[in-house]
Each structure stands twice: as C-alpha cells, then as structure tokens.
Structure 1
Amino acid sequence: MTLETAGPAIDETLVRALPKAEVHVHLEGCFDLADLLELARAADEPLPGPAATLFDVDTHDVPGGAPGALSAFLRFLDWEGGLVRTPEQAARAAYRFAARESASGVRYADVIINPTHWGAWHGRLGALFAAFAAGLDEAEQDGLCVVNLCASLLRQQSPAEAAELVDWIVEARPPRLVALSIDGDERAAGRTGPRFAEAFGRAADAGLRRTVHAGESSGPQGVWDALDLLRAERIDHGVRAAEDPTLLRRLADSQVPLGVCPRSNLALGLYPDRASHPLPALRAAGVAVTVNTDDPAAMGYRLESEWVACADAYGWGLADLAGLARASIAASFAPPELQAALLADVDRFVAGRTRS
C-alpha cells in the first residue's frame, strides 16, 4: 500500500528528521559493544565469545535453555543484563538508551525491561527501576527524548510470579513505569495467555497499559489470546496474524497496533527475506502497524536504517513514512498532550518537505 512514490529522497537523514516514537525496543538489546566490554571488565566476567564477534550469539557458549536462534539470543540478553551491578551502571544504561533513540530522531519511546534478564537485581526491583528513572530524568533534562518503562514478564514464569510483579508495580508506582508487558519464546513456553490473564486483568484495573509479545515464534493463536485474555492495547510483533484472515479483520477493526520489527524477524529466521515478510500485507489489510528495532545494538542496526530498508523494499515514499510516524505516536503510551504535540510536529515536517 504505497501512498506516494514521488517527493523527497528517502534516506537516513530524512528519517532522522521525521518526528516519531518507538514502541517495541528492549533496553537489554541496546548495549553497544563498548558498553559490554566495559561492564564485563568491571564485573570481572569473561566474554561468552570473541570481542569482535560478540553479537554472533548462536556461536557462544552460554549455558541453559532450549536450542534455537531465539533461545540463544535470550540467553545472551541474560548475560548482558547480568553485567549491570550498580545503580550508576543502570542509570547510565538508561541514559545511553535515550541518547541512542534521540540520535535516530525518536521523540518518545516505550522501552521494555524484563527483570529476569537483570540477574544481580533479584529482590531489588525498586532500586533497579529507580536507577533507570534517574538516568532517564537526566537524559530528559539534557534535551534527549522522553522515555517511559514497560516492565515485562517472561513467558516461563508462573501465575504467582506474574501477580507478584503486578502487585509490586501497583503498590510502589515506580517513576516512569507505565505498562505491563510479556515477552520470551512463545514456541518454548507454549500457550501462556490463560496463565497470565489474571495478572494482566489486575494491571488493567489498576490503570496500567498493556503490551504483549505475540504472533512471532508461535502462530495467530497467541495474538487472539493477547486480545481476548490479556486485554492487550498493543501487540509486539504480531506478524503471524497475517496467516488468519479473521484475525486480520479483528485487528483492522479494533486498530490495536502491531509493533513490528522486520529485521529482527529476519535475523531470528522467522522469514528468509523482506519480500516474504508480511508487513506490506498487514498494512494493506488496514492494520495499524509501526516499525521498530526490537534489539538494535545486538543486531547491528538503527531505527533510521530500518525505515530506509523498508522504504527501499516496499516502494514507500514520504507520505508512507509520515503515516508510520503518526502510527508510532498514536500507538505509544505517551501522555495525550505529548502525543498531540508530536502529531502536530509531524504535520509541520511533512508540510515543510512538501513545499520544498
């Protein structure tokens, strides 16, 4: 569904200048190589592989878990998060995330944090999230983008662990923590919607926003469960919905947005190439779609390069990218007044580019 093929050249400079949000990105996947080398040295921890190929996670000797690209990648995220031991390191990770997003032209981001990846902080979640908030406060004071936090469950956790996390969020109300998420390997964990329905119901009743990883390593059933059992306001990935015409109509009618991450899907072997990726089909069906990075540092790319790659692959022009920017802002959990301001900025940007 190409709205425009003429107009300004689509390149990374244009994409960086376009106001936008990012709604599907994990803090655990945003450590640059220099960050990891520094943290590993401070923690006196060995690298799981050679420094030059540290992000080639399928070659590393990181024990535990099921075989497969996604499982290996999740174990690597455990190793990364486990290197962060002090509040200063956690705050610096959050600050650098905001800087990374801002460098890509992101004006607001919902960043996902799964506490199970941060092994040194078990039993100290309050201190961890306080450190993240402190780093993001400093970043915003320095003129970087606004970032809020989505605390994520791991699919292998129990209903009791899920309830414990939700109860803590509701009672403590950590600064900047606005949403409950769930992530992990759908195929390895099996159907999890019924297991976590109560926890997500509590979160909804307490006013927390809800976003759910679904329709990635499993089929459309996970998306149905996210909508019907977990009261999801946003679906992270959701690409396997393209296999179910009834589900596509449900998503189009409800305008529950998908946080799609095409390059992540390719890197983890979900699709062999962009031509076979269902992103154009999802848009053509009228589904609200956003384009995001998932774990960009670990996978070696940035948001602007991903948008340009999609534009090149699918023939998108400025109007298409402006539509994606508006969709990203509308799909975000930013406060309504910030959403309105950012949408107005997109309109001004497009008007200026069109006149020129």
Structure 2
Amino acid sequence: MPAPDLSRLRALPRAEVHVHLEGCFDAPLLERWARRHGETMPRPLERLFEFQGLADFLDFLDWACGLVRTREELAEAAHDFSRRMDRSGASYADLIVNPTHWRHWVARLPEMIDALDAGFRAAEQEGLPRVGLCISLLRTQSAQAAAQVVDELVALRHPRVVALSIDGNEATAGRTGPRFADAFRRAAAAGLRRTVHAGESSGPEGVRDAIELLGADRIDHGVRAIEDPSVVALLVERQIPLGICPTSNLVLKVYPSLEEHPIDRLRRAGVPVSINTDDPALLGTSLEREYALCAEAFGWDDEVLRDVARTSIEASFAENALKAQLRERLAGW
C-alpha cells in the first residue's frame, strides 16, 4: 500500500476534538516570550521539547503557560492555534484549556476566556476555522475548586465555551471520579458538554469512572479500555467516542510502537474513534500526519479514513449546522 498523500489528507473534512492549547506553542514563540519576560529556558532551544515522561511534560506546560502574561499574548496564542488548525485542514476544533497551568490567569477565568475569544474571533473574520473551548479541571484540584470553576462558567455562559473537561496525571492523582462527579453533574445541567481524560495513565477502570461517575459525552485517550472487554462493551453499547492521539501515546510511553497501539482494535470492536494530536507543537506532529501514520500502520483505505473523519465530526461539540456542512463535504471527498 503506497504511503498516504498528506495534501490529500489535509483536504479530508474533519474536526479535531482532543488538542490542548498548552501544547501548541512553537519553540521560537516560547523563546521570544521568555526573553521578553526575563525567564530562563528549561533547556536549550534545540532540545526544548525533549521530555522524560508525563510528569516532566506537565511541568513544562506550567512553565510555558507561565510566560503568557498579557491579554495580547493570550489572543496571539489563540490566533496561532487557528492558523495551525487551518494548515492541517481541520474545519473545527474543540480546544482544551486548563487554567491551572496559566499562573497569571488561574484566578481570572472570565478575563482569560474573553482574551482567547478575541483571538479566535479575529481568526474567524479572516476565514479560519471555528474553535470551541473546553475548560479543564486538573485532577489534583479539590471538589471545592472544581465547583468554583463550574460556578464561574455557568454565570458567564460564554458562547465560546462548549464543555467542561478534566485532565492531568491519573497515575499520581489516583481515583478522582467521585471527587468531581458533582461538578460534572452541575455542568451538564447548565448545558455544558463533558469530556474526560481517562485510560491513558489509568487503566480501563478510569474509563468506566469517566462514563459512570462523570457522565462523559466523550473520552480523551481511553485507549486502555482495550484491557477490559466489559469496558469496551460499555463504550460500544453507549457509543461514547474516544479522542485518540497515537503519537502522544508513543512519546509518553503508553505503547512501545504504533503497531501495538489499540486504535484499530477498538475501531473494529465498534468503538467510535477519532484521530487527534493532543499537543502537536511539543510532540512534533500534525493532524494530517496522525491520519497518515494510522493509515499506513493499519492499512486503512479511504472508506475507513472517511469513517474516522465522520466520527470526529459527530464527536465534536460543533453546532449542528456546521456538522451538517462538514458531513456534506465529507461525502464528496
């Protein structure tokens, strides 16, 4: 089977549903911000994105986001993300932002959302794709802190915010589903969707908690569900989509190789799967590259690629009218 054509994959109508703004800063931009604010780089520029594991990776996110101090820099970050998405051919993105990484903004959530929205609105006026915001809790936060975030989001009712999310290192935080169940319930009651990181540094039990305790509409990663047939069956029964990030899982050593990655086994079992980048700048990848890697590793033909792209559209929190447009375009690809 010939190697997939990246330019053709860029033309594949699709959404991206698992990508973090914190992981979309290019090294030269971080270096410019560091110099502007007199911050020390953690490593030389050429090795800036070399990580020793998930903990080191998350520490780096805190450093990088700590460089963003002004409204203009936040808007710049949003605008840069929209350009990145457009280059990869994505037509919509659910973008995860976790305020706990942004030390200059963590107590200023409404201002943060407003600044990001300004960048996205400017990008959309230039014809760049639409972006929805998924505001994320961190697993080490308290139930009280989570409730405060939900209260702010409900009071704000900002049209840019489409979902409540949760992320962070499950392996170090332990089981946290019970702690955040009430926050997710109240978010859903207020009309927010729910997306949950699970089944990455936790096993299939994390995926089950995401479904049964947090009411996940979508699960970010979820790949380790493959270790428990009953959890796979639950995903199939409820048709809960997984936002899978193959390169991320390899770089962070969840799996040793793409050939051993379970995305194709999950798909064949009937689980809705989409392909995503997670942290594309830090991982040196792009959305079209992730599609190409999977197509080559698993022998996916156009029909499978179209099905996976369709899942990304259906799994997204885009407005129904935009989803309908994307489905129509996808039929003609």
Q: Which category of TM-score, normalised to the shorter sequence, fits these structures?
A: over 0.9
Aligned counterpart, 1:342:
326
Asked if 2 retains the 8 angstrom alpha-carbon contact of 1:133 and 1:175, the reply is no
**1:38-84 Cα distance to aligned partner (Å, 9 max, x none):** 111111101001111111133xxxxxxxxxx1111000000011000
Query: 2:279 matched to which residue of 1?
Result: 295
Partner of 1:94: 78
User: CA–CA distance in 2 between the matches of 1:227 and 1:171?
Assistant: 26
Q: Does the alignment pair 1:26 with 2:20?
A: yes
Paired amino acid for 2:40: P
Q: What does residue 199 of structure 2 align with? A: 215
Equivalent residue for 1:242?
A: 226
Q: Tell me the residue number matched to 2:253.
A: 269
Amino acid corresponding to residue 330 of structure 1 in structure 2:
E
Match of 2:131 among 121, 128, 147: 147
Identity %: 56
Query: Is the counterpart of residue 115 in structure 1 residue 105 in structure 2?
Result: no
The one-letter amino acid paired with 1:28 is E
Residue number in structure 2 paired with 1:57: 51
Amino acid at match of 2:179: R
Aligned length: 333
| Cα shift at 1:244 | 0.8
Is the CA contact 2:3–2:292 (under 8 Å) kept in the aligned structure 1?
A: no
- Give the alignment partner of residue 46 of structure 1, picking from 40, 44, 51: 40
Corresponding residue SS for 1:24: strand
> Which letter does structure 2 place at the counterpart of 1:102?
D
2:129 counterpart letter in structure 1: C
Quote the Cα distance in structure 1 between the aligned partners of 2:26 and 2:157.
30
Please give the TM-score of this superposition, normalised by the length of structure 1. 0.92
Q: 1:253 aligned to 2:237?
A: yes
Stretches of structure 1 that go unaligned for 5 or more consecutive residues are 59-68, 350-356
Q: Does 1:196 align with 2:190?
A: no
Amino acid at match of 2:195: T
Deviations 1:166-222 (CA, angstroms, capped at 9, x unpaired): 000000123401100000000000000000000000001111000000010011111
* 8 A Cα contact 1:31 1:93, kept in partner: yes
Q: State the AA in 1 paired with 2:29.
A: D
Q: In the alignment, which residue of structure 1 is the partner of 2:165?
A: 181
The answer to whether the Cα contact below 8 Å between 1:130 and 1:175 also exists between their aligned partners in 2 is: no
- For the residue of structure 1 that corresponds to 2:330, the secondary structure is helix
Match of 2:269 in 1: 285
**Paired residues of 1:22 and 1:110 also in contact (CA < 8 A):** yes
CA distance in 1, matches of 2:131, 2:57: 25
Deviations 1:291-320 (A, max 9, x none): 100001001111111110111100011111
What letter corresponds to residue 243 of structure 2 in structure 1? G
2:240/2:272 contact within 8 Å kept:
yes
Unaligned runs of 5+ in 2: none
Structure 1 residue 122: Cα displacement? 2.7
Tell me if structure 2 keeps the 8 A contact 1:30–1:297: yes
Aligned to 2:55: 71
CA RMSD of aligned residues (A): 1.0
- Structure 2 equivalent of residue 61 of structure 1: none
Q: Point out 4+ residue stretches in structure 1 off by more than 2 angstroms.
A: none
The CA deviation at 1:35 is 1.1
Distance in 2 separating the partners of 1:121 and 1:253: 40
Residue 9 of structure 1 and its aligned partner are, at CA, apart by 6.6
Partners of 1:32 and 1:267 lie apart in 2 by 18
Equivalent-residue separation in structure 2 for 1:218 and 1:227 (angstroms): 14
Counterpart selection for 1:166 from 150, 156, 166:
150
Task: Output one character per residue of 1:9-40: Cα deviation in whole Å (capped at 9) or x when no partner.
Answer: 72211110111100000000000111111111
Q: Specify the code of the residue in structure 2 equivalent to 1:13.
A: S
Q: Aligned to 1:322, what secondary structure does the other structure show?
A: helix
